[in-house]
Structure 1
């Protein structure tokens, strides 16, 4: 007598089907897990972002028609909800590395316009991409824009794969201002691009080689932003200091006041450009944990403070000012004529990395300064027509 088969054929088939399905599910899980590992390593060995068609086929220019402008070259701005407060800044490729410290100190968005030209384009694009891919805080916070001369041919720029584990061999010899020939650094084109393209209620306009005091983003939100309307015409001033190139940057006011290497910004170059801040008064304010307005100032030329202000009511920078001189103070002048109040914050500040010295400026600075001084006179006359009812002038 044959032994009975305890397992029926239909049951075997069902078992095999279930096994195949489970194996497929496990395979999908492994694939997803591997992808998560790659994401956690932040794509350290492969590159997601190539030079976008918007860069290669740039067609949008600034108001002068001299420069192509390409906003949000990595498309990261689409990932962010509108912010309460964002930094707007600008740079050339040789200062892009400052984004590392800035993104670690600042909790909010950073909108940065990068100016490049000629042989520097390859390096500027590669370094921007490397920073974006290799550092999570930059990917999460920084929106990159690109500005370059219309005469610059970038269609044949080679693509370099990013490997975050290998030191870069591509270097740049570019220096600010010393761009050569007739090319002039367009500060205000860059500032306007960074300002207009970031979705934020308030902006902090600053240089890329500065760091804000720690927790400024959070304290401004908690202590001030709820009481300020979008049409508010107040510039909330941050006193600016400077320290040695390789010195530690203070993060709190207590640290700043105890740091013997700290001095007011532009102390060796243009004291009158910053002295209205009244550094002595600010240093001796009563101690307070909350961020608040300490005192108001009466603006006079050539005071050019760094500030936080409502984006919706802020005058744009005049893009005719290029290279050195009057590019920032022209906007401050217009804010004054438009009726702005200038109020100093009690605990917030900026620190510039490196002492500013006259010997550090480029050789043709005075020529550019004279050219912009003549333009500034024209600019002030134009403000009289733009604000015919204003009793203020520059």
Structure 2
């Protein structure tokens, strides 16, 4: 009995001593940490002898830990592509490593997977350097592409409008939690940093990578600036676009030119407004198979720089158009452009097609989409009960053939026939991009569309939503942003501006579009497989959002006056 009491006393004393020592150590640590915070000191960056502003000797971070809300037009936080990036708690199997929140990306061998954050610095600070630190671990990554990439890529916009890149690479064998960091400094002393866009990405691998503790810390000579809010612009200024723009000369080869007077004479009709390249002309045979209304078509014609236009191109196009039997009020425009320009100027061509149309309503669709039969009749019947307000966008649900259709397959003549193709044992049609980017058309609510015969309102905004729409042809109609060319963000940004401008979206119940499959373009392949090209496109998106926030006084810019185009 005495032995048991002795053991209990010894255990009690041991626990008491352990508790006291733990409390003392915690107290000492808290005192040290609080003192550091109060002093808000700075340390020297050893590479350039400048101050690395660090409250409490812990580098502060101008990057947010949050995701950008998908239902807002916003710049703050990490923005995801269509492929979901998970934010979850990872407990890394490392000595002294704690559990932490990480971005988990499922890598794909054939496409870039990434998450992005855009930072606009206050320009009067004249920043010239920052340090980026990232920790990562990978699970069984297998390289399946010669130009594979794993790590962080930063696109820096400078005061003269030029771009520079900063890269933090990781090895695919990073099975343990590994930290990498790097210092970025402008290439010329006269430059300062306006913006930095960070992309955490993997390409060419199969497996999963986890990124955590992503810290971007500005390096400054002003040691009194010790917080993100002192560096970040609430309502950023627009950035000058220094890239060369496409030089397009256009020629109207069918239809009457619109009068130059400001008075608009519009016909009570709906025009299919579209554009395409010369090699895609055969697809019009399918697209216009059941379209009976006017068409406003722009055909992109590549020409060699410094050489006169070739007559054969115009003759070839005119011959193809003769077989289409276009509506008398149609307009066809040739857009000549030098082949030295890299990307297909899709939004410039869309805007040209809009300007050429003289119809009251415009169906904005790509040339590889078939409108449903009797589109005009069903459009008028569906919209009869709705307000004819100028700021109404009528959503046309989009579908796609699962397999390439044959001539013998025919085209669904009614909604009932379309429903049979959708829901039969071996479906032949499905909602557009359902398997690849389901959020692109999720807000259309296809299941509701299947069951209704009345128009219904799209209830909320999504930054992934990019429906095809019918719009009223007004002088105030927002046009497509021409900074976007090639593939990526060219249409979704237009939908975003329609929401920002106060448009109300209604889904039409008895009309639809069906996408005809075709070979992917070189622009599409470059977009999904080139990390640098993808980042450039996403930076354009962020710069577009800056302009939208200022133009419509949204978000952090809601106290500013709207900026005209």
| TM-score, normalised relative to structure 1 | 0.67
Corresponding residue number in structure 1 for 2:431: 264
Structure 1 residue 104: deviation in Å? Answer: 3.5
Corresponding residue number in structure 2 for 1:5: none
Structure 1: runs of 5 or more not aligned: 1-62, 153-180
Deviations 1:246-285 (A, max 9, x none): 24332321111101210111123211112221112211x1
1:281 has 2:439 as partner: no
Which of 341, 353, 358 is equivalent to 1:199? 358
Within 1, Cα distance between the matches of 2:404 and 2:310? 27
- CA change 1:350–1:123 in 2 (3 A) is farther
Within 2, Cα distance between the matches of 1:212 and 1:392? 40
1:96 has 2:96 as partner: no
Within 2, Cα distance between the matches of 1:328 and 1:384? 18
1:238 has 2:396 as partner: yes
Structure 1 residue 101: deviation in Å? Answer: 3.3
Greater relative contact order structure (CA < 8 Å, 6+ sep):
1
Which of 282, 296, 315 is equivalent to 1:126? 315
1:148 has 2:336 as partner: yes
Within 2, Cα distance between the matches of 1:281 and 1:223? 16
For residues 336-347 of structure 1, what are the structure 2 equivalents within 5 Å?
336-347=499-510
SS for the counterpart of 1:308 is strand
Indicate the structure with greater helix content.
1
For residues 45-64 of structure 1, what are the structure 2 equivalents within 5 Å?
none
For the 8 Å contact 1:237–1:345, the answer to whether it is kept is yes
Structure 2: runs of 5 or more not aligned: 1-242, 259-264, 422-426, 559-565
- CA change 1:294–1:190 in 2 (3 A) is same
Within 1, Cα distance between the matches of 2:538 and 2:367? 25
- CA change 1:360–1:371 in 2 (3 A) is closer
Structure 1 residue 365: deviation in Å? Answer: 4.0
Provide the aligned length of Structure 1 versus Structure 2. Answer: 295
Deviations 1:121-158 (A, max 9, x none): 666423321033344x2263542112222x46xxxxxx
For the 8 Å contact 1:268–1:358, the answer to whether it is kept is no
Q: Which moved more, 1:323-332 or 1:217-226?
A: 217-226
Within 1, Cα distance between the matches of 2:245 and 2:441? 34
- CA change 1:123–1:258 in 2 (3 A) is farther
Corresponding residue number in structure 2 for 1:374: 539
Indicate the structure with greater strand content.
2
For the 8 Å contact 2:382–2:508, the answer to whether it is kept is no
RMSD: 3.2
For residues 58-73 of structure 1, what are the structure 2 equivalents within 5 Å?
66-73=246-253
Which of 323, 333, 338 is equivalent to 2:486? 323
Corresponding residue number in structure 2 for 1:209: 368
| TM-score, normalised relative to structure 2 | 0.47
- CA change 1:102–1:371 in 2 (3 A) is same
Corresponding residue number in structure 1 for 2:458: 296
Q: Rg: which structure is higher?
A: 2
Within 2, Cα distance between the matches of 1:348 and 1:304? 17
Corresponding residue number in structure 1 for 2:550: 385
